Amino acid sequence: MFRSGLLVMIITMVSRVLGLVRAGIIAYYFGASAMTDAFFSAFKISNFFRQLLGEGALGSSFIPLYNEKVESEGEERSKQFIFSVINLLFVFSTIITILMIVFSDQIILGIVSGFPDETKIIASKLLKIMSIYFIFISLSGMICAILNNFKQFAIPASTSIFFNLAIILASMYFGKTYGIDALAYGVVVGGLLQFLVVLPSFFKIVRGYSLKIDWKDPYLKKIFIMICPMLVGIVARQVNTIVDQMFASYLAEGGVSALENATRLYLLPVGVFGVSISTVIFPALSKAMSKNNLKEATDNIVKGLNILLFLIIPSTAVLTFYAPEVIRLTLSYGKFGEEAVRVTSQALIYYSIGLYFYTAIYLMTRAFYSVKNSTYPVKFSIISIVINIVLNFLLIDIMEYRGLALSTSIASAVNFLLLVTVFRKKYINFSLKKSYIFFLKTLVVTAISLLCSYKIDNTILKLLVFSGVYMLFWAKSLLKNKLEVF
């Protein structure tokens, strides 16, 4: 299972690195300006809907229900359940896309009311273009969840590579001719590629397709019941980023872009480590809980949390202590000047404070989904969004964009602690002693790695020395004990 996780992490790393290249290319050609503020805002809205029904709530609720249906009715009859879900998703995503196109002006006005009128007009135009992206990415996300359930992780993990390449090429070859519109069209093409690349593997599994929706299938009703609280929870998590964006629209020009660029960097370890580990663990955890195998479930959760400590603690150190260097290395080209570096690096530092909590939320949320409980994650997401909004109000005048980033980190910490506490109380009271000891060891090794690399001027060499020292301390244990280290 963890070998699959390593493969997914490698592929996701390639994708995330391309994401950084994408951010660097956008920064090079467009800088951090009102135009990029408009693009990032419009893209955030279309991406928000993707999280709801793509790889988000629908995919997470589908896996345990599909496995249950296979056990009770067999694999052949369960294929119609797949077709019904995808057909319904297509209809719904098409309706949402049409509504986004028709009401783009009102949506932009409601989300980024602090923008100047000219920026709002640009954002509305870009949203109209990118709306169709929702259809492609929703279908792709659902198919990826299906492939994951059949232990095919590599192709679903690689879809973002094609998305990033589409935007990179659109920026480089069409940016000068079409301006910021080129990025919007790149998003649409990227979404189409993500959909097309998963189709061969999907049809190899289902061997055919049916456009019929079986309304009498009781599992279709179950998925609606299970998905509703999940949707609320995902809305709450995504609203956190939109709330930050709303507040940032009242700051100086480039504030939204600074938060977006910082978010992309701190989400690199989240996507590579957090999403990869939780994606691979979820099917096994779901099956273990369905068989009431608490020992196996406990092992999966504890190992998952400890692997994240091993990966995230050093990542947090790099993104906080070396924030300016990381920003210069990845984004400081072309029109992205030193002031943009300063602003973005400060936002990155405060986002990174909550990096472990934000990453581990993915794992603990899946733990609740494995027992078919989506209520608690929803409650805690709502609590976290309220905390985020309150802290935004309190900190924006004092800390500006830094306060918005810090609010997100604190809200994530509260969300994670609530998830762990309640899961241990309601389901498995797994011991955290091993995690505490592992955390202290990781912290000490990370501190030593910082001391060995801090005085080095060259950023690439600095990061290589940090990584080399960190892995050197763990090499013997990893080679000798393998996963038992975690």
pLDDT, tens only, 108-125: 887 777 778 888 888 899
350 Cβ contact list (under 8 Å, min separation 6): 399, 402, 403, 405, 406, 409
257 Cβ contact list (under 8 Å, min separation 6): 32, 33, 36, 37, 40, 340
Q: Are 401 and 343 in contact (CB under 8 A)?
A: yes
The closest of 52, 9, 8 to 142, measured between CA atoms, is 52
Q: What is the pLDDT of residue 55?
A: 47
The closest of 426, 427, 424, 434 to 302, measured between CA atoms, is 434
The closest of 246, 130, 243, 140 to 196, measured between CA atoms, is 140
Give start and end residues of each alpha helix (H) in 427-458. Answer: 433-453
- CA 486 to CA 478: how far, in whole Å? 9
**425-429, Cβ contacts within 8 angstroms, sequence gap of 24 or more:** 426/373, 426/376, 427/367, 427/371, 428/294, 428/297, 428/298, 428/301
Average pLDDT for 120-145: 89
Sequence spans of domains, the chain: 2-430
Q: Are 331 and 345 in contact (CB under 8 A)?
A: no
- CA 241 to CA 392: how far, in whole Å? 11
Average pLDDT for 172-180: 85
**What band does 440 get if pLDDT is binned at 50, 70 and 90?**
very high
* Letter string b/e over residues 89-119, b meaning 16 or more CB atoms within 10 A of that residue's CB: beebbeebbeebeeebeebbeebbebbeeeb
pLDDT, tens only, 266-287: 777 776 777 777 777 777 777 7
435 compared with 16, residue with greater pLDDT: 435
- CA 246 to CA 261: how far, in whole Å? 16
Three-point CA angle 11, 15, 20, nearest 5°: 145
**What band does 32 get if pLDDT is binned at 50, 70 and 90?**
low
Quick count: other Cβ atoms within 10 Å of Cβ 177?
A: 8
* 38-to-32, 106, 123 alpha-carbon distances in Å: 11, 14, 4
